[in-house]
Structure 1
Amino acid sequence: MDEKELYRKLGFVKVSPYRTNTLKSIGNEIKMPSEIGKELDVRTSQVSAALSDLKQEKLVVCVNEEMRKGRLYKCTQMGLEVLKYL
């Protein structure tokens, strides 16, 4: 990822406290939306919306997409790169 793209994605994350905190919460771990919500003290629906945005930007990935419940998310390499600047 070039520097311009990194800064674009960084701005995308920083503009929303939910996206910022969700990305920070996941870090190097694999987490469910409910775990993130409890940790951040926000509703799971807000976490899910943030995860959807982050997934669209390829900053997180769902590792078990086929599951309806108990989905697990982790940061992509690009997500970890952005995380260094948060």
Structure 2
Amino acid sequence: MDDEVKYVRRSQYRLRVMRSLEGEVKMPSEIAVDAEIFQNHISNTLGQLRNHGLVECINPEVKRGRLYRLTPEGEKIIKSL
């Protein structure tokens, strides 16, 4: 888990996205506003966090209006930050 904490801390974008999703389910546009990050950076950051098992899309079958939340592992990491 320490490696994942370091991974999140190395990027302000990853840290902001994780904090925005803490206890929430949001669309990328909502995350962008909340985290004050441009939308195109949100998509890249969500992809990185998804690949590390920290974020999941709960409705991947839709093209628009996808919803994201922290995984249980992501919740543990955000609590330790």
How big is the alpha-carbon RMSD for the aligned residues of Structure 1 and Structure 2? 0.7
TM-score scaled by length of structure 2: 0.96
The alignment of Structure 1 onto Structure 2 pairs a total of residues equal to 81
- For 1:28-39, list aligned pairs within 5 A: 28-39=23-34
For the pair shown, which has the larger CA radius of gyration, 1 or 2?
1
Structure 1: distance between partners of 2:26 and 2:7? 21
Q: Does residue 58 of structure 2 align to residue 47 of structure 1?
A: no
TM-score w.r.t. structure 1 length? 0.91
List 4+ stretches of structure 1 deviating above 2 A.
none
Q: Report deviation, 1:51.
A: 0.5
Which residue identity does 1:38 align to in structure 2?
V
Q: Within 5 A, what are the aligned runs for 1:36-75? A: 36-75=31-70
Match of 2:67, as an amino acid?
L
Paired-residue identity, %: 35
1:40: Cα distance to partner? Answer: 1.9
